[in-house]
Amino acid sequence: MEPSTTTAITNQRTITVSGLGRNAVTPDVAQVMLGVQSENRDLTTAQQEANQTMHAIIGTLREQGVPEERIKTINYTVSIQRDHTKPDAPITDFQVAHVLQIKIKPIVDLGAILNAAVARGANVIHGAQFMVENPEAALRQAREQAMQEVRAKAEQLATLAGVSLGPPLTILESLNQPFPIHVMAPPAVRLAHTPSPAVVPIQPGESELVVNVTVSYAIA
C-alpha cells in the first residue's frame, strides 16, 4: 500500500505560494553582562577584593530596582599571570573574574544602572542585548498577515488557471526574528575614571519581525 500512497501524493496537482507578514516591534528588555576583575600577587587577596566589589555591585543593582531573579552569575574564573616567553617563569599575579548577567526592564533604566554599577567597582561590561520579552502577540499578527497574503495569491492563481482551490496539503513557516540586538557598552574603565559620568545614552530603536509562510494547496 505504501508505494501507491506515495505516488498519489507525488502526482497530486498543487498550487504552491508564499506570503510574508511583517510587524514592527520595539525591544522592552535589556540584557547585559557586567562584573569585576581583580589582580593581585596573592590569590586570597585577589579573591577578597573581587568578592567585596561584587557584593557592592549586587547591592547597588538591588537598590536600582533590579529583581533578584534577574541577576545571576554566569562566570567565575581564577587564572594565573606569568611571562609565557620564559620557560618555567614564576607566577606574577592571580586574576579573579566574577561576571553577572542581568536583565533590565524598562530599558530606559539601563544607563543609570550601568553608571551605578561602575561607581561601585564594576570594571567588566560585555555589552548589551535588546530583546522583546514576549514576542508571541507580534508573531501572531505577522503570521495572520502572511496567511492572508498566501490565500489571496492562491485564489487568484486558481482563478487565472481556471481551476478550483482545494485544501492545503503542506504549510511551512520560517521566522526572521531580529533579536537579540547587540550594542557595545562604553568601556567600564573609562567610565570609572570620569569624575561625574553622565548617564549612558541607550536607544533600543525598532526592528521588524518577519514571518514567511509557504503553502501548497490541492487543485480540486
CATH class label, 29-131: alpha beta
Please state the domain extents for the chain.
14-26+135-179+204-219, 29-131
Q: Among 22, 4, 19, which Cα is nearest to 214's?
A: 19
| The one-letter amino acid at 83 | D
Q: For position 91, what pLDDT does the model report? A: 82
- Which tens digit of pLDDT belongs to each residue from 136-168? 999 999 999 999 999 999 999 999 999 999 999
Q: Which of 177, 162, 182 is CA-nearest to residue 207?
A: 177
pTM: 0.68
> Among residues 180, 186, 188, which one has the least CA distance to residue 204?
180
In tens, the pLDDT along 63-81 reads 999 999 999 999 999 998 8
pLDDT tens digits, one per residue of 172-215: 999 886 555 544 444 444 444 444 456 666 667 778 889 999 99
Indicate whether 218 pLDDT > 80.
yes
User: pLDDT value at position 81?
Assistant: 85
What are the backbone dihedrals phi and psi of residue 146, each rounded to the nearest 5 degrees, phi first? Answer: -65, -45
Q: What is the mean pLDDT of the chain?
A: 85
Instruction: Say if residues 98 and 73 touch (Cβ distance below 8 Å).
Output: yes
At residue 105 the predicted structure's pLDDT band, cuts being 50, 70 and 90, is very high
Task: Please name the fold of domain 14-26+135-179+204-219.
Answer: Translation Initiation Factor IF3 (3.30.110)
- Note the pLDDT of residue 48: 97
Confidence (pLDDT) at 197: 54
Sign of CA pseudo-dihedral 104, 110, 114, 116 = negative
Residue 132, pLDDT above cutoff 60: yes
**How many CA atoms, within 13 angstroms, populate the side-chain half-sphere of residue 15?**
21
pLDDT value, residue 5: 30
Q: What pLDDT is recorded for position 178?
A: 59
CA atoms within 13 A on the CB side of 92: 6
